[in-house]
Amino acid sequence: MKATQNPPTTGTVTTADLFRMAALYLRRHGWHQGTYYANTTDTPTPQACAVGAIGMACAGRRADHFYGLDFDTQVVFRQTVGVFTAYLDDHEPICAIDEDGFLIDEHTSPFSWNDDPGRTAEQVITALENAADEWDRLHTEGGEN
């Protein structure tokens, strides 16, 4: 192999890997609320919300909406956000009740959760890291799929 060639890579990127990459992205580039990414054009790596960071991890670039991704990446992105939603349902549920006492959302939206005015960057990063740990526990240590 020539020194300029990239060595072959092996292994599968898991959902846990994507959560950890998203957490690392937020640590390096900053956290944002309100939209996937901070409105800036001067950097290819803007601050991101939790879902925006997952998009960066899945696509390797800004993913302003899943339908702008190629099909395979779109599937991975949507599945990863779905797993994060399930994690939030189990560990950080938001119970929104309407004026008649009915539950508004059946699932914790990662968007609403991220944009909660009391939310901090560290909470978002920790949730992504904990979701990764849970994925590993359930999928690599004999847990149920």
Tens of pLDDT along the chain (145 residues) come to 555 566 666 678 999 999 999 999 999 999 999 999 999 878 899 999 999 999 999 999 988 777 788 999 999 999 999 999 999 988 887 666 667 766 666 566 899 899 989 999 999 999 999 999 999 999 986 544 4
Q: Is pTM, for the whole model, over 0.85?
A: no
> Residue 47 burial by CB count (10 A; 0-12/13-18/19+): exposed, middle or buried?
buried
Residue 48 is given by DSSP the state B
Question: 69: which 2 tokens?
Answer: 């991704």
Collapse the DSSP code of 37 into the 3-class scheme (helix H, G, I; strand E, B; otherwise coil) and give the result.
strand
Q: Which residues, including other chains, have CB under 8 Å from residue 66's CB and lie 6 or more apart?
A: 55, 74, 77, 78
Contact 47, 125 (CB under 8 A): no
